[in-house]
Amino acid sequence: MSDTMQLRQEMVETCRKMNASGINQGTSGNLSVRNAEGFLITPTSLPYDLMQPEDLIQMKFSGEYEGARRPSSEWRFHRDILKARQDIDVVLHCHSVYATTLACHHKTIPSFHYMTGVAGGTTIRCAKYATFGTQALSDNALEALQDRLACLLGQHGQISLGKTLSSALWLAIEVETLARLYVQALTLGEPPILSDEEMGRVLQQMKNMSYGLAPDLEGVNDTARAANAS
């Protein structure tokens, strides 16, 4: 199997995982991955369980595309995000229930829980509403994603970014989990918010660890490692 066909197959599998995980339903949501020719993107109005690798659309950053089907109606924000963000290669969009619930109220997810930091900052912002498929929606998404790996889209859904398909899917599921926790926490009243100072420590810890690979903040593991090496 060629590298291109393997990537197409992995994209189809990721789309099906989106539905299987519960973060997406029916034909909503879309997925894109950067490649040498521009980016591959899912087609419009095709259920994921019927989608085949050859159904994916090859697009250029100019907006031209190749394939028997039309690209997702949201191709503009996929193109613009991939063009603006050289740090990522995957854009995943879905209408997960709890994230969309918050988006319908234009609510940003604050640092009520330290895991909010997985999106790259102290909050997961909600972009202003704009009609789906428009340049205005793309512009709003880019603004909300500044220095972030995820955002909500006002009265629409969520976007999660990643270097790989697996990392983007993982983040989308984490965003949905955080959204669900926040909705449930709000039933008891506004939850306390972690300070920017504490979130700074959280973000540094996450960066140091690459989430699970490095020492704790106090350097205990470094000390132990050095002792074992001596």
Q: Provide the pLDDT confidence category of residue 211 given band limits of 50, 70 and 90.
A: low
Structure token digits, residue 55: 């159904």
- What pLDDT score was predicted for residue 228? 47
Contact 39, 78 (CB under 8 A): yes
Catalytic residue among 74, 176, 190, 197: 74
Note whether 99 and 175 are within 8 A (CB).
yes
Hey, which CATH number is domain 3-210, 3.30.360.10, 3.30.450.40, 3.40.50.300, 3.40.225.10? 3.40.225.10
Mean of pLDDT values over 21-32? 92
Provide the pLDDT confidence category of residue 27 given band limits of 50, 70 and 90. confident
Please check the confidence at residue 230 and state whether its pLDDT lies above 60.
no
Could you report the per-residue pLDDT of 44-94, keeping only the tens digit for each? Answer: 999 999 999 999 999 999 999 998 899 999 999 999 999 999 999 999 999
Is 74 one of the annotated active-site residues of the chain? yes
pLDDT at residue 4, as a whole number: 87
User: β-pairing, 150-153 with 126-127?
Assistant: parallel
pLDDT of residue 26: 82
The pLDDT of residue 227 is above 60: no
Report the pLDDT averaged over residues 136-147.
Answer: 98
The residue to which tokens 């591959």 are assigned: 40
Q: If we measure between CA atoms, which residue out of 156, 102, 165 comes closest to residue 132?
A: 156
- Domain positions in the chain are 3-210
Report yes or no on whether pTM surpasses 0.85.
yes
Task: Give me the sign of the Cα torsion angle 84, 31, 7, 164.
Answer: positive
Residue 158: other Cβ atoms inside 10 A: 29
How far is it, in rounded angstroms, from Cα 4 to Cα 40? 10
Give a three-class secondary structure readout of the chain: CCHHHHHHHHHHHHHHHHHHHCCCCCCCCEEEEEECCEEEECECCCCCCCCCHHHCEEECCCCCEECCCCECCCHHHHHHHHHHCCCCCEEEEECCHHHHHHHHCCCCECCCCHHHHHHCCCCECEECCCCCCCHHHHHHHHHHCCCCCEEEECCCEEEEEECCHHHHHHHHHHHHHHHHHHHHHHCCCCCCCCCHHHHHHHHHHHHHHCCCCCCCCCCHHHHHHHHHHC
Each residue's pLDDT tens digit, 120-136? 999 999 999 999 999 99
Residue 7: pLDDT band (50, 70, 90) is very high
Contact 163, 85 (CB under 8 A): no
The C-alpha atoms of residue 130 and residue 175 are separated, in whole angstroms, by 21
Rounded to whole angstroms, what are the CA distances from 220 to 3, 135, 197? 43, 50, 22
Task: Check pLDDT > 70 for residue 109.
Answer: yes
Q: Taking residues 152-163, report their average pLDDT.
A: 98
Kindly give, in sequence order, each residue whose CB lies less than 8 Å from that of residue 9, ignoring residues fewer than 6 positions away.
1, 53
pLDDT of residue 208: 86
Give residue 209's pLDDT: 82
Mean pLDDT of the chain: 92
